[in-house]
C-alpha cells in the first residue's frame, strides 16, 4: 500500500473514532459445487417488466440524495417508498425500530413492508436494502462524505417496485411480500489494523425484523435478496451463504434465468462469500430459506468497482440489467403453483 492510501485510511478511521472490518469481500475462491445444473421446460411466456419504469424508481431514490438513518432525505424517501407500494394496491407499512451503530450512534430503523394477497399461506419474500452508505470508505478522496448508492441499494429497490407494479396488474395466485430493509450499509469500516470482524454491525434492519417479525409467526416458502443488481454486464454467481442455506432456490432461479436467455448474467458457478448480507439473518434468525442475487466482479473477485465510492451514481445503472433481474423474478413468481 502506498503512503497516500495508508494516510487516507488512517485519517478516515480517526474521523470516525472507530476501527473495524469492511463489509466482507466476495472472492473468486471456488467452493465445492453441490448444485447440479437443471434445464427445465418454460411454463409461461416471457413476463412483462418495464425496465424504464424500474430505472425511474432508482432515479427517484437517488434524487433524494444520500439516504442514511436519521437524515432528512432518509425520512422523505421512506414515505415515498411506502406510498409507492400503496399506489400499486399493496398493503404497506413502516416498521420502526431502534439500533446502535458501530460508532455508538443511536438510529431509528425504518423497514418498509409491502404485502400482496396477505391472506394466502403460500408466499414468496423479496427484499433489498434501501439505505445508502453514510461515508465513502472505499473512495480515494472525501472518505467521510456520504454516497448516493444508486447501485448499492437503489437498484434492488427499483427492480422490486416495478415487480410490485406488475404483480398488481397480472394478479398471480400466490402471496408476495416485499421488504426494503434499512441500515444494511451502516457497518463498521476498515482501518486495516483489526483482524477480528464485527459482522453484526451490518444489516441492522434485517436483524431487527428477523427478531421482531411484522406478523406473529410470519413464514414464507423462500426469500430472494437483491443487492447491486443494476450495473452494465452484471455477473451473478452462486454465493456461498445461499449455497449453504438454500441451494434448491438458487437452482430454481438460475434455471429460470437460463430459460429466459440470461445465462450470461446468471452464471452457474459458486463463489466464496466471506461475511454477511441481509439474507444471512433471514435464514438464521427468521428461518426462511433465502438466496442473494448480487454482483460478483469478474476481474477483482470483489463487489462492483464503484462500491462505497462517490462513483456509485446513476451513471452506473443499466436499464437492460434491471430488466434481466426483474423478468427473472416475475418468471419465478408466475411459475409457482
pLDDT tens profile 149-165: 999 999 999 999 999 99
Domain ranges (residues) in the chain: 3-334
Confidence check: pLDDT of 209 > 70: yes
Q: What does pLDDT average to over the chain?
A: 88
Average pLDDT over residues 130-135: 97
Determine how many CB atoms are found less than 10 A away from the CB of residue 30.
13
pLDDT confidence band for 329 (50 / 70 / 90): very high
pLDDT confidence band for 36 (50 / 70 / 90): low
Q: Nine-digit cell at 136?
A: 465513502
Q: Which helix (H) or strand (E) holds 224?
A: strand 222-227
Instruction: Please indicate whether residue 79 or residue 270 has the higher confidence score (pLDDT).
Output: 79
Q: Which helix (H) or strand (E) holds 287?
A: none
Q: Nine-digit cell at 173?
A: 395466485
Residue 27 confidence (pLDDT): 43
Nearest-angstrom CA–CA distance, 87 and 67: 22
Whole-model pTM: value is 0.87
What Å distances lie between residue 84 and 93, 147, 161, 176, 263, CA to CA?
A: 11, 23, 8, 16, 32
What CATH architecture applies to the domain 3-334?
3-Layer(aba) Sandwich (3.40)
Amino acid at each position: 500500500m502506498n503512503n497516500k492510501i495508508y494516510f487516507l485510511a488512517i485519517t478516515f478511521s480517526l474521523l470516525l473514532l472507530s476501527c473495524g472490518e469492511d463489509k466482507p469481500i466476495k472472492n473468486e475462491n471456488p467452493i465445492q459445487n453441490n448444485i447440479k445444473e437443471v434445464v427445465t421446460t418454460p411454463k409461461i411466456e416471457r413476463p412483462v417488466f418495464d425496465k424504464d419504469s424500474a430505472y425511474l424508481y432508482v432515479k427517484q431514490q437517488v434524487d433524494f440524495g444520500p439516504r442514511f438513518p436519521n437524515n432528512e432525505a432518509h425520512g422523505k424517501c421512506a414515505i415515498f417508498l411506502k406510498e409507492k407500494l400503496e399506489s400499486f394496491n399493496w398493503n404497506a407499512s413502516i416498521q420502526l425500530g431502534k439500533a446502535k451503530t458501530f460508532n455508538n450512534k443511536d438510529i431509528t430503523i425504518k423497514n418498509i413492508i409491502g404485502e400482496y394477497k396477505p391472506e394466502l399461506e403460500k408466499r414468496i419474500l423479496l427484499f433489498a436494502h434501501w439505505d445508502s452508505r453514510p461515508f465513502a470508505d472505499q473512495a480515494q478522496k472525501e472518505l467521510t462524505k456520504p454516497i448516493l448508492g444508486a447501485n448499492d441499494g437503489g437498484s434492488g429497490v427499483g427492480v422490486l417496485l416495478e415487480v410490485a407494479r406488475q404483480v398488481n396488474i397480472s394478479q398471480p395466485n400466490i402471496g408476495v411480500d416485499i421488504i426494503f430493509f434499512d441500515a444494511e450499509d451502516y457497518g463498521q469500516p476498515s482501518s486495516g489494523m483489526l483482524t477480528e470482524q464485527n459482522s453484526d454491525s451490518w444489516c441492522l434492519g434485517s436483524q431487527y425484523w428477523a427478531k421482531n417479525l411484522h406478523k406473529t409467526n410470519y413464514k414464507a416458502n423462500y426469500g430472494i435478496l437483491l443487492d447491486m443488481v443494476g450495473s452494465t454486464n452484471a455477473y451473478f454467481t452462486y454465493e456461498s451463504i445461499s449455497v449453504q442455506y438454500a441451494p434448491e432456490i438458487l437452482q430454481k432461479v438460475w434455471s429460470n434465468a437460463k430459460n429466459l436467455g440470461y445465462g450470461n448474467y446468471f452464471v452457474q458457478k459458486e463463489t466464496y462469500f466471506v461475511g454477511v448480507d441481509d439474507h444471512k439473518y433471514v435464514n438464521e434468525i427468521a428461518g426462511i430459506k433465502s438466496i442473494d442475487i448480487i454482483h460478483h466482479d469478474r476481474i477483482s473477485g470483489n463487489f462492483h468497482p464503484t462500491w462505497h465510492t462517490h462513483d456509485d451514481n446513476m451513471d452506473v445503472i443499466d436499464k437492460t440489467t434491471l430488466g434481466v433481474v426483474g423478468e427473472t423474478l416475475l418468471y419465478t413468481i408466475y411459475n409457482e403453483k
